Structure 1
Amino acid sequence: MSSSGCSSMTDYAPKTHTQSPTRVRGRSFWLVFLSLAISMYQAAFELTAVGMALPSIAEDLNADDFSWVGSAYALASCAALPMTGGLADAFGRRFALMGSLLLFVIGSTICVTGLGGGGILALPTIVLSDMVSLQERGTYQGILGLTWSVAIVTSAVAGGALADSGHWRWIFYLNLPITAVSMTLVFAFLRSPLPPGNVREKLKKLDWIGNGIMIASTTICCIALTWAGVQYSWGSAQVLVPLIIGLFGMLAFVYYEIKVASVPLIPFHLLSNRTTIVGYIATFIAHLTVIAIIYYLPVYLQACLGDSPVKAGGVHALGITLTVGPFAILSGISVKVLKKYRPQLTAGWVLLLVGLGLYTTLDEKSSIGAIVGRELLFGSGLGFLTATTYFPVLAPLELSANARALAFFNFLRSFGQVWGVTLGASILQNELLHRLPASFTETLPSGVQVAFAVIPHIKDLPEPVLSEVRKAFADSVRVIWWAIFGIAVFGALTHILMREIPLPTHTDDNWALQGNQTKHVGRERAHNIDVEMQLPQSRVIVISKDT
């Protein structure tokens, strides 16, 4: 047990005194892992493809509030995430994942995939925690990071091509055959224990009220930020009232979870140590940052350089897409080898901040070489961070808390994406309002609100309007880069409070997957392992446990 004089919070790590066993994993293990990778791929593909096709979607739908095209998916995904941990514990991993994939299929047929996307974003990490100990998980998490990187590349090309051809709805329809493969693998090979109880008893264990309060509060805040400075002034009642209500709703959610909820959506005892808190903060900020880049770098490339959607998200974004995956794998392997995660997070923050800082120097005349160089730095840092932030989240916690801790982890990841899209859109709209030449905005039917939809046509404008519009977009996007740079600096500073906690070498026996048992090679059984664990009320006891 350890303590710190500078904080009232204490970090407690499971401690064992045996060597981690050598493990041989069979066909079922790898087929289940393949289904998890496919599920993760779909969630990433959908998110990035929508961002790539956003100008074309806005134009086709005659959308005034274009930011909702992007934030609606992230918000719907966010709505499903807090409950995934409870669903996985109540109904079992297999049924929870199958249900999420089914929702994703249904949503794909009507171009609304957010709810199912939330489940398939969170549940693969929960199932992986049942299959592999935290100490070994770095390599597997790195592979999932590579999957995310491949999804970014393919979604950029596919989303851009479909947007160019006017068939953006196929971004959603392509999910159907891929989801069918994933559902088949999950149904055939994911044999997780089924908790006792009937459906009604299990539904009563879920925190419906807490989930409703949180989603309503987030939605109201997003509405206020979307309206602010464009449809209504920042000081107007139309902006301040929903913003205040939304923020108070979030405070009410925290109070309800701590004081009222019998089965909290988010068990706040998980936040009783500073290392877990810093890991959650890093997760939120890293994904707020990455979604802002994914959504608004193509805006810059298309508006200022005249790129097509395919070029903006594919060829000219390769600096990010080709570095995130390899550096995620490198980070994951190094965690397994070194049994440490702080060095990787430090490297990630440094590279991310340098890349973001250099983004703020881009203008409407920057070369592709200069842009790709910045992408390489940013993508490398992002690879380190995305593969490593959940190690400090889980290392101090008992294994039985994995599902809910990871559900909250993935909730913050999507919550960061909601705010990244919404804040970026609000900044872009407000900056364009002041920067675009009047000769251009006067030609728009709804003023600056539809400027996003005319991006594909900017290259056809006559001079000097063309140069003025491109400069306005470049200067406006630069403000987004400065905003997320400042947020990322805060995230990096919180890293100072993080401690290096020994990583557990075992998994939760209560959720051992049937048919995927691990074979232990060359190790004598150990007895009387002392395990130091954190209890919900922050009490610490030492348990003698046989393995």
Structure 2
Amino acid sequence: MTKTSSPVSSITFVARKRHKPLTPTKLIIVVAALAVLIFSATLSGTIVSTATRSISKDLGHDNITWVAQAFLILCTALQPAWGKFSDIFGRRIPMIMGIVLLAIFSGLAGASVNMMMLIIARAIMGIGASSSLAMVNIILADIVPIRKRGKYMGFISAANGVGQVIGPLLGGLISDTLGWRWTQFINIPLLIVAAVPLIMFVWLPTPGGTVLQKLGKVDWKGVACLVLATVLLLLGVDFGGTDNSWGKPRAYTLMLAGILLFVGFCFIELKTSKDPIISMQLMRYRNVWINLVGALITGSVMYVGIFYIPVFFTAVYEATATKAGTLTWPWMVCVIISSVGCGIAITKYGIYRPYLWIGSILLSVGFGLMYTLKPEQNFTKQAIYISIVGLGIGFRLPPATISAQAVVTKEELASTTALVNFARSMGGILGLSISKAIQSSSFTSKASNLSQLHPEYSHIISEVAKGKPLEIWKIQDEIIRDSVLKDFVDSIKIVFLICSIIAIIGLVFSFYIIHDDSEYY
């Protein structure tokens, strides 16, 4: 599609046009700092998943699920807004704000004296992380031409993927050795390492105008509507997935309100006289809306894999969360290899579509093979299957962002980049919440007869249905235990099968992505 001028702000264009290229050494340092920053932001969201038991012992059980959810919901909801803020205020202010918020409230989260303080601190950490996740890819797009961007995007994607996968492992290790508070404090040195070179070397021009003038350019109605819509929708899905209570008024009322607000947001963006947070004109680019669908799919299967692969190992091997996390190393290694390799290949050959196809095929095959898993199979076969999924994730990450960036104007670059990240995060939370409901419902249905026949184990089976697979090993009768284990593994396999089918849908959509070489050569 031919690129045309856009009614949105031309700030991005001015910034990129006037920016002097960094020296090779400085560029490597800045990219490394961006990788550390996105690793820290991603790690913040996943590291608490295995620290909740330690947190509960210290601060109590009340609202423990909100320690993770408050972060994830706000981190997702605000990403599109940061893209537009960076157009209006320049790149440095949102970048520094994100780092400062994440660092300060990581310290406050670690120093929390009660559960409410921890949840509030984690929520504001999510705001900081949302800025970091958005700004990393936006800044990379500003300082590296798209023809050379692939190899650097590969390293950034690898850091993102490692942060997702290694978080639960680090959370368990740190909680068991240093205490859960250090799962929050660990962010501070990482952020310092990232901040110093970014502040020193990233000097993209700041748009002119006073603070009040810039604040006046912000589409505050759009920001409020989008954030509220996202929060309500994710809350509704989370309530339904956590309690398996989709039919209850709380869940569907929140989801319906969120959907209606999304419709209202689209109307506001079409009618606003200001620069919209998300320009509806972006949807005129085939690559953009297809990659939004693709990002939703990639995010959903990635989050499901990150969550359920350790759960599978926990159930089968009677493994602690920490040990189960260590067993996911094939996934992590393969994400790194394929992300970096894919990025380098994009830069070398100047094409990106085939890697999306390869990634989708690997995801479908990998999850399809995982559907055949059995508790008695050896780890080698399990490792091969999750490695295939890891390779698929790595192949999907870099080209999705680049193929969307390749077709938009320079004015639309920041919004497009933030929107793809937003869709991936949204897909992850939606996919995981829905998969939890499907898995729990499937297991409950399969194990209901056992509960009736053996009421002495009904409480244990109920706890397993709530996501506590280690409870299976408290069943003394080996035959009953094996039966419950089989039912539990089968319920997880259903989720893997759905992921395989979803990956095929992603493959079909990716066939319609076009290659745009106007920026490439």
TM-score normalised by the chain length of structure 1: 0.81
Matches within 5 A, 1:110-189: 110=109, 111=118, 112=122, 113-152=125-164, 154-164=166-176, 167-189=179-201
Distance in 1, Cα, partners of 2:2 & 2:275 = 29
Compute the displacement of 1:67 (Å). 6.1
- Which residue number corresponds to residue 78 of structure 2? 80
The amino acid across from 1:266 in the alignment is I
1:475 aligns with 2:490: yes
1:407 aligns with 2:405: no
- Which residue number corresponds to residue 477 of structure 2? 463
- Secondary structure of the structure 1 residue equivalent to 2:328: helix
Q: Is the 8 A contact 1:52 1:298 kept in 2?
A: no
The amino acid across from 1:119 in the alignment is S
TM-score normalised by the chain length of structure 2: 0.84
1:105 aligns with 2:103: yes
Q: Is the 8 A contact 2:366 2:500 kept in 1?
A: no
Q: CA offsets per residue over residues 510-539 of structure 1, 9 Å max, x none?
A: xxxxxxxxxxxxxxxxxxxxxxxxxxxxxx
Compute the displacement of 1:380 (Å). 1.0
The amino acid across from 1:323 in the alignment is C
Compute the displacement of 1:261 (Å). 6.0
- Which residue number corresponds to residue 363 of structure 1? 374
Instruction: Please say which of residues 489-498 and 163-172 is displaced more in the overlay.
Output: 163-172
Distance in 2, Cα, partners of 1:185 & 1:299 = 39
- Which residue number corresponds to residue 351 of structure 1? 362
Match of residue 207, structure 1, among 213, 216, 219:
219
Gaps of 5+ in 1: 4-22, 507-547
Compute the displacement of 1:237 (Å). 3.2
Compute the displacement of 1:62 (Å). 6.5
Q: CA offsets per residue over residues 51-84 of structure 1, 9 Å max, x none?
A: 4546766787775887655443321111220111
Call closer, same or farther: CA 1:59–1:290 in 2, change over 3 Å. Answer: farther
Call closer, same or farther: CA 1:496–1:154 in 2, change over 3 Å. Answer: closer
- Secondary structure of the structure 2 residue equivalent to 1:472: helix
Distance in 1, Cα, partners of 2:440 & 2:35 = 36
Distance in 1, Cα, partners of 2:391 & 2:52 = 26
Call closer, same or farther: CA 1:321–1:368 in 2, change over 3 Å. Answer: same
1:318 aligns with 2:332: no
- Percent of residue pairs bearing the same amino acid type: 25
Compute the displacement of 1:381 (Å). 1.2
- Which residue number corresponds to residue 396 of structure 1? 407
Compute the displacement of 1:262 (Å). 2.3
- Which residue number corresponds to residue 276 of structure 2? 264
Distance in 1, Cα, partners of 2:470 & 2:175 = 11
1:443 aligns with 2:459: yes
Distance in 2, Cα, partners of 1:393 & 1:223 = 29
Compute the displacement of 1:100 (Å). 0.2
Call closer, same or farther: CA 1:83–1:239 in 2, change over 3 Å. Answer: closer
Call closer, same or farther: CA 1:234–1:417 in 2, change over 3 Å. Answer: closer
Compute the displacement of 1:101 (Å). 0.5
- Which residue number corresponds to residue 300 of structure 1? 312
Call closer, same or farther: CA 1:222–1:441 in 2, change over 3 Å. Answer: farther
Call closer, same or farther: CA 1:196–1:148 in 2, change over 3 Å. Answer: same
Match of residue 50, structure 1, among 45, 48, 51:
48
Distance in 2, Cα, partners of 1:62 & 1:367 = 39
- Which residue number corresponds to residue 197 of structure 1? 209
- Which residue number corresponds to residue 329 of structure 1? 340
Q: Is the 8 A contact 1:220 1:242 kept in 2?
A: yes
1:424 aligns with 2:439: no
Distance in 2, Cα, partners of 1:179 & 1:484 = 34
Compute the displacement of 1:146 (Å). 2.9
Distance in 2, Cα, partners of 1:81 & 1:211 = 10
Call closer, same or farther: CA 1:449–1:177 in 2, change over 3 Å. Answer: same
- Secondary structure of the structure 2 residue equivalent to 1:125: helix
Distance in 2, Cα, partners of 1:275 & 1:421 = 26
Compute the displacement of 1:220 (Å). 2.6
- Which residue number corresponds to residue 17 of structure 2? none
Distance in 1, Cα, partners of 2:284 & 2:425 = 22
Distance in 2, Cα, partners of 1:369 & 1:144 = 29
Flag the structure with more relative contact order, 1 or 2, with Cα contacts below 8 A and sequence separation at least 6: 1
Call closer, same or farther: CA 1:57–1:301 in 2, change over 3 Å. Answer: farther
Distance in 2, Cα, partners of 1:496 & 1:338 = 19
- Which residue number corresponds to residue 520 of structure 1? none
Distance in 1, Cα, partners of 2:105 & 2:431 = 23
Q: Is the 8 A contact 1:107 1:114 kept in 2?
A: no
| Superposition RMSD in Å | 2.9
The amino acid across from 1:423 in the alignment is I
Q: CA offsets per residue over residues 255-306 of structure 1, 9 Å max, x none?
A: 2222236221101111102122212221221111101111121112112321
Distance in 1, Cα, partners of 2:310 & 2:493 = 13
Q: Is the 8 A contact 1:76 1:115 kept in 2?
A: yes
Distance in 2, Cα, partners of 1:138 & 1:417 = 23
Distance in 2, Cα, partners of 1:369 & 1:128 = 38
Gaps of 5+ in 2: 4-20, 110-117
Q: Is the 8 A contact 2:356 2:507 kept in 1?
A: no
Compute the displacement of 1:404 (Å). 1.2
Call closer, same or farther: CA 1:490–1:68 in 2, change over 3 Å. Answer: farther
Instruction: Please say which of residues 69-78 and 231-240 is displaced more in the overlay.
Output: 231-240
Compute the displacement of 1:500 (Å). 1.4
- Secondary structure of the structure 2 residue equivalent to 1:369: helix
Q: Is the 8 A contact 1:93 1:127 kept in 2?
A: yes
- Which residue number corresponds to residue 15 of structure 1? none
Call closer, same or farther: CA 1:35–1:103 in 2, change over 3 Å. Answer: same
The amino acid across from 1:341 in the alignment is Y
Compute the displacement of 1:468 (Å). 3.7
Compute the displacement of 1:502 (Å). 0.7
Q: Is the 8 A contact 1:257 1:266 kept in 2?
A: yes
The amino acid across from 1:38 in the alignment is V
- Which residue number corresponds to residue 530 of structure 1? none
Q: Is the 8 A contact 1:50 1:70 kept in 2?
A: yes
- Secondary structure of the structure 1 residue equivalent to 2:318: coil
Compute the displacement of 1:481 (Å). 1.6
Please state which structure has a larger fraction of its residues in helix: 2
- Which residue number corresponds to residue 237 of structure 1? 249
- Secondary structure of the structure 1 residue equivalent to 2:218: coil
Compute the displacement of 1:156 (Å). 4.4
Distance in 2, Cα, partners of 1:319 & 1:203 = 47
Instruction: Please say which of residues 252-261 and 488-497 is displaced more in the overlay.
Output: 252-261
Distance in 2, Cα, partners of 1:491 & 1:54 = 34
